[in-house]
Chain A
Amino acid sequence: MADLRMQSPVADRAADVAKIAELTGGAVQIAEVAFLQQIDVRTRTPESFRLPTDPNTWHDVDGSDALWLGPDEWLLVADPAADHGATAPDAESVVDVGANRAVLDLIGPGVRDLLSKGCSLDLHAMRWRDGACAQTMLAKAPVILQQREEVTRVFVRPSFADYLVDWLLAACG
């Protein structure tokens, strides 16, 4: 049997995603980050795993992004090739959610304005900075937002990816 190929949720919308840079005159560029490792962690002792305890923040833990999702829930994110992502802490609950969300990276001076068309969070540069993350809605899609330096990362359920790309195209238009 030939090796089965992996297909990312946004793969066949790549042309549409690329068009956003053109529509915004370069103010927003979007790229899919496919096949990231994602681990959902539940624990009552986050300190022992050096997980962030400030709500809606993230930081690096051994090469993984550790995102605070709730008082007892975190998301660990690592590159597909990294070996730390797979070795999640020995917490009360550890669940592989790598294929459970598609990931889009947004960059450019127009990103905050674009997102503000569908997201009710305060994305002002003074309030939403590197190190911030949040579970929220972008238009009618539930998402996780994460600010990684200049990049705003959007995690979305693959089933909503088509909708979100359509919405982004409309919001840029």
Chain B
Amino acid sequence: MDVGGSGVDRDSSLGFTFDGTDYLGLAGDTLASALLANGVDVVGASPILGRPRGVVSAGVEEAGAMVEVGAPWLDPIVPATAVELVDGLVAMGRPGVGVLPADATGAQAADHRHLHVETLVVGGGIAGLRAAREATGRVLVVDERHHVGGISPWSTEIEDLTAELVTRDETALITRATALGVYDDGYVVIYERAQPVARVHHVRAARVVLATGAHERPIAFADNDRPGVMLASAARTYVEWFGVRPGNRAVVFSNGRSGLESAMALHEAGVEIAVVLDVGPASQPHRDRLREAGVEVREGWAVAGTEGESRLSAVHVAGPGGESETFDADLLLVAGGWNPAVQLWRGINGGLRYDDATACFVPDGAGPPWLEITGAAAGEGIDPVTPYWYAPAEDLSHHYVDLQRDSTVADVLAATDRRLRSTEHVKRETYIGTAIDQGRTSGVLTAAIVNGAQGAGPGAQGPTNARPPYTPVPFSVLAGLDRGPKLLDPIRTTPIHRWHQERDAPFENVGQWKRPWYFPLGNEDLPAAVHRECLAVRNEVGVMDASTLGKIEIVGPDAARFLDRVYTDRMSTLSVGSIRYGLMLGLDGMVFDDGVVMRLAENRFLATTTTGGAARVLDHMEEWLQTEWPDLRAHCTSVTEQWSTIAMNGPASRRVLEALGTSFPVDAPSFPFMTWREGEVAGIAARVARVSFSGELAYEINVPGWYGVSTWEALMDAGAAHGITPYGTESMHVLRAEKGFVIVGQDTDGTVTPHDLGMSWLVRKDDSDFIGKRSLRRSDTIRPDRKQLVGLLPVEPDQLLPEGAQLVERDTGVIPMAMVGHVTSSYASPILGRTIALAMVESGRARHGQMLHAPLLGATIAAEVTAPIFYDAEGARRDG
């Protein structure tokens, strides 16, 4: 063809493969334009009925030509009109639904960038480029196509504006870049289809200008989905920009001026126009021009249906007086009016109103102050049309509304017949608008049919909402670098982590932390290693990396008062040098976290938290300080990682500490239980606390983080003579369970009070207030039949109750049975030579001595209820 084609480079030919056949296209082509140029009119099949489908549009509003791209990148489903042709492109027609590859190794890689601009313009058509020219400061213009210019890229104004903008220092113009969504305060996420690595731009703009243009919409008539039926403006784009004639002989069906303009452009490009059917408002000069050029224009005539094997071969038309006629044609151009592309505007709650003259929904009112909408997207310059939604017929079951869902006018009317009134409900009944185009061409039409069926005005209801992303984006692109075992989520490690790794310790995930689970020797499995580790702690000495424990320093003249309000027991009476265990409750009176509090000085405390609770507890404290008690002069500072914490437990621990060398005495009278000492350990400044989570004599050694690994190694050396044994979280759990020490989050689940745990002694009874106090007096929290913490001893000492097992009084064998509690912790205890468990059981403390049963698949375990302590109940071991 000898006219048009300014968007392609005729000297640069690109090879591509479609459905297994090799073709040639041109640089600048889309896959759709290249397929049309090669005479491929059937691109794929429809998703449900398998009807042949071809190219309908020239942009992202495409509903017909769906393809999968297999190389050089992967895209399971994309319209052919949105695929830029590159050399070596491999694509296959797809029936509207994509299939993810089983192997994700080829998933699109992407780089993310944060970008700040004074003005972001979304859309590089005439309106967008004009807005960019007027903008100052840093300006970014993005356009989803691989060229600027919107739907009329050939205009000379586009050329001039682009030439001007590219010379400006602080203006950037990015093509192949789609604004996926517009969010609060000018945050816009943009997907740039760069290859081989795509880009996501996180743009924060002081001002966002939406210049997203408008999409032409079709009119429904019988068999309107046949390849060869195309939007009139799209055909014009193929002719003028891509230099492709999408057919040889066309019927044009238009309800406004722009269809007549498209007809003229195609006629001038050498496409024979069989007839122009004009149901639009009078546009005499346009009609006259066509007629002067020898084109027949029939006013008031409309398309009734189409014919063809797969591609269109004839068009049936109907006259205003009921006449009918058939025209041979391989192209049927439809111009049904224009829909402003208001999806992004609506996404940020911009309003819409129906405009009668143009029969479309246009922005109404102001959006957020940083947002503007301009050009065709704002309804500017949209052609007046005579609304013409679908051709009247007896049978409407081949009048396609949403080509990607094979949904018809009949389907919509069936839904309204069933009294579905809202377009949102009709969408869910018919699936219209649920495909990847989110109803770009079908939404307004559906709304019009629904409104019409209800006898309401044409703007009574608008189309359903489109949500981000504006066009599909691969998950791998959104993930960017945040993929794979290292970067998906941060892995937090302690200063001693490498030592654990070198000892081949398997790790347990605790929040983002990796904690050593156990330290196998040789071929030991978990039970064997835990058995050995636990006995080492009970009989000699064991050492655990407890650096992950949360640590918060609370400092200030009101620190003690503050802690009294945060913990259930009193911290203000704690003497400097001493330590107290504390429970923290939520406002609901339920246990929220626990830990020990050390008084470091009159106005200085150190509180420890659970590993997983550290951030939550700090937030909790800050929230109360900042919002409820701003008068309190107390400050919280996280020092979790300031200190490496090594917990040494076991009867030989004192001798190991002595061998390591301390600047202070460590014998029991000088350094009693629940006190701490500061001084030198192995020659460096340390804080040592006599706290024990195993019940054994224990020293918790805290050193600045950068001494963590060397202190650990020194401790291993100093303890070698005593058989010092590193142990992990599993042994720690067994040892504490033997003593009945709870783990918040394992034995508690957010519905457990201190009284339920048998820790009433930790809850002060005086008049002073603490968080959660009032809730402890609610009728529900003082019920005597609440679940309470108990111990369980299985009758068969080698039977292990599964954690989570439900407990019943009598195994009736008939499901359901009345459940009275559940197992929260369960282990084989090496020192006791039997299994033990902790459980929460209704009225548990009144049941000591009673038998309960855990009915399991294939077996029932009977266990005796006991007090929740199994070893050294008198606490004789804590001083060694």
User: Contact residues of A with B, CB < 8 Å?
Assistant: 1-9, 12, 34-35, 40, 42, 72-73, 92-101, 113, 116-122, 124, 127, 139-141, 157-160, 162-163, 166-167, 170-171
CA distance A18 to B493 in the complex (A): 21
Decide if B704 is an interface residue (CB 8 Å cutoff).
yes
B389 to chain A, nearest CB (A): 45
Q: Which residues of A contact B710 (CB under 8 A)?
A: 4-7
Partner of B706, one of A7, A113, A171: A7
CB proximity of B29 to chain A, nearest CB, Å: 33
Q: Are B495 and A42 closer than 8 Å at their CB atoms?
A: no
Question: For A124, what are the chain B residues with a Cβ–Cβ distance below 8 Å?
Answer: 116, 138
The chain B residue with its CB closest to the CB of A100 is B642
Residues 103-118 of B, flagged 1 when their CB comes within 8 A of A and 0 if not, give 0000000011111100
Task: Collect the chain B residues with CB atoms within 8 Å of residue A95's CB.
Answer: 553, 555, 637, 639
Is B492's CB within 8 Å of the partner chain A? yes
Contact residues in A for B204 (Cβ distance below 8 Å): 120, 122
Q: Is the CB of B682 within 8 A of A1?
A: yes
> CB of B707 within 8 A of chain A?
yes
Given A9-B705, A119-B114, A124-B138, list of 10 further CB < 8 A pairs?
A4-B682, A4-B707, A6-B707, A35-B706, A42-B556, A73-B635, A100-B640, A100-B705, A116-B115, A139-B481
CB pair B487–A163 under 8 Å, yes or no, is yes
| Docked-complex contact B113 and A116, CB < 8 angstroms | yes
Q: Which of B493, B704, B707 contacts A159 (CB 8 A)?
A: B493
CB-based contact A101/B556 at 8 Å: no
Please report the C-alpha to C-alpha distance between residue A100 and residue B643 in the assembled complex, in whole angstroms.
8
**A118 pairs with B112, CB closer than 8 A:** yes
- Residues of B at the A interface (CB closer than 8 Å) are 111-116, 138, 202, 204, 481-482, 486-487, 489-495, 498, 513, 553, 555-557, 633, 635, 637-643, 660-661, 682-684, 704-711, 714, 718
Known: A120-B204, A140-B489. A4 touches B555 (CB 8 A): no
Instruction: Let me know if B557 and A166 touch, CB within 8 A.
Output: no
A8, A73, A93 interface centre (most CB from chain B within 10 Å): A93
Set of chain A residues within 8 Å of B553, measured between Cβ atoms? 93, 95
Write the chain B residue with the least CB distance to A73. Answer: B635
Interchain CA distance A2-B714 in the complex, whole Å: 9
| B661 contacts across to A, CB distance below 8 A | 1
How far apart sit A35 and B555, CA to CA, in the bound complex (Å)?
Answer: 24
Contacts of A160 in B (CB 8 A): 490, 492
* A1 and B494 form a contact (CB under 8 A): no
B513 to chain A: which residues have CB within 8 Å?
Answer: 159
Determine the distance from Cα of A124 to Cα of B557 in the docked complex, in whole angstroms. Answer: 42
Q: Within the complex, what minimum Cβ distance (angstroms) separates A78 from chain B?
A: 16
Residues in B with CB closer than 8 Å to A6 are 706-707, 710
Q: Is the CB of A171 within 8 A of B555?
A: no
10 closest A-B pairs (Cβ-Cβ)?
A: A99-B705, A93-B555, A159-B492, A122-B116, A93-B635, A42-B635, A163-B490, A4-B710, A99-B704, A100-B642
Contact between chains at A159 and B683 (CB < 8 Å)? no
**Contacting pair A158 B487 (CB below 8 A):** no
Q: How far is the CA of A127 from the CA of B138 in the complex (A)?
A: 12
Question: What residues of B have a CB within 8 angstroms of the CB of A2 in the complex?
Answer: 714
B482 proximity list for chain A (CB < 8 A): 139-140
A171 to B557, CA, bound (A): 46
- Cβ of A98 and Cβ of B704 under 8 Å apart? yes
Contacts of A73 in B (CB 8 A): 635
CB–CB A162/B637 < 8 A? no
Whether the Cβ atoms of B491 and A162 lie closer than 8 Å is yes
Q: B683: which A residues are within 8 A, CB to CB?
A: 1, 3-4
18 of the cross-chain contacts (CB-CB < 8 Å) are A9-B706, A92-B557, A92-B633, A92-B635, A94-B555, A96-B639, A98-B642, A99-B642, A100-B640, A117-B113, A117-B481, A124-B116, A127-B116, A139-B482, A157-B641, A159-B493, A163-B490, A170-B487
Residues of B within 8 A of A9 (CB): 495, 705-706
**Cβ A42 vs Cβ B555 within 8 A:** yes
With A9-B706, A92-B556, A94-B555 as known contacts, state yes or no: A170 contacts B481, CB within 8 Å: yes
How far, in Å, is B509 (CB) from chain A's closest CB? 13
Most buried by A among B204, B486, B706: B706
Q: Among the listed A8, A12, A127, which residue makes an inter-chain contact with B498, where contact means beta carbons less than 8 Å apart?
A: A12
CB distance from B640 to the nearest CB of A (A): 8
In the complex with contacts A94-B555, A166-B487, A170-B481, A100-B112 CB distance below 8 A: no
Would you call A163 and B116 a contact (CB within 8 A)? no
User: CB distance A163 to B491 under 8 Å?
Assistant: yes
Residue in B closest to A92 when the chains form the complex, CB atoms: B556
Q: Is the CB of A4 within 8 A of B111?
A: no
Say whether, besides A4-B707, A7-B709, A100-B705, A163 and B495 are in contact (CB < 8 Å): no
**Interchain nearest-CB distance for B442 vs A (Å):** 37
**Are A159 and B494 in touch, CB under 8 angstroms?**
yes
Q: A3-B683, A4-B714, A159-B492 are in contact. Are A116 and B114 (CB under 8 A)?
A: yes
Q: A residues within 8 A CB of B709?
A: 7
Contact pick for A93, options B487, B495, B556, B684, CB 8 Å? B556
Given the known interface contacts A97-B642, A122-B116, the answer about A158 and B491 at a Cβ–Cβ threshold of 8 Å is no
> Are B487 and A8 in contact (CB-based, < 8 A)?
no
Asked if B637 contacts A93 (CB within 8 A), the reply is yes
Bound: A91/B3 CA distance, A:
80
Q: In the bound complex, how far is the Cα of B236 from the Cα of A115, in angstroms?
A: 45
With A and B bound together, what is the CA distance between A113 and B199 in angstroms?
13
Question: Which of chain B's residues have a CB closer than 8 A to the CB of A163?
Answer: 486-487, 490-492
State whether A158 touches B639 (Cβ < 8 A): no
**CB-CB < 8 A to B489: which residues of A?**
140
- The minimal Cβ–Cβ distance linking A12 to chain B, given in whole angstroms, is 6
A166 to B486, CA, bound (A): 7
**A4 smallest CB distance to B (angstroms):** 4
A99–B706 contact, CB under 8 A? yes
Question: From residue B504, how far is it (CB to closest CB) to chain A in Å?
Answer: 18
Least CB distance, B237 to chain A, in whole angstroms: 36
Which of B202, B491, B637, B641 interacts with A101 by CB under 8 Å? B641
Say yes or no: A97 contacts B639, CB within 8 Å.
yes
Give the CA-CA distance A94 to B119 in the complex, in Å: 44
Contact of A120 among B114, B138, B660, B705 (CB under 8 A): B114
Q: What CA separation (Å) do A124 and B206 show in the bound complex? A: 15
Residues of A near B557 (CB, < 8 A) are 92
Question: Bound state CA distance, A40 and B718, in angstroms?
Answer: 35
Q: Which of B494, B642, B682 has the most CB of A within 10 A?
A: B642
B308 → A minimal CB distance (Å): 52
Chain B residues whose CB sits within 8 angstroms of the CB of A166 once the complex forms: 486-487
Query: Which residue, of A1, A6, A118, A119, has the highest number of chain B Cβ atoms within 10 A?
Result: A1
Beta-carbon contact of B491 and A167 below 8 Å: no
Tell me which residues across on chain B come within 8 A of A4, comparing CB atoms.
682-684, 707, 710-711, 714
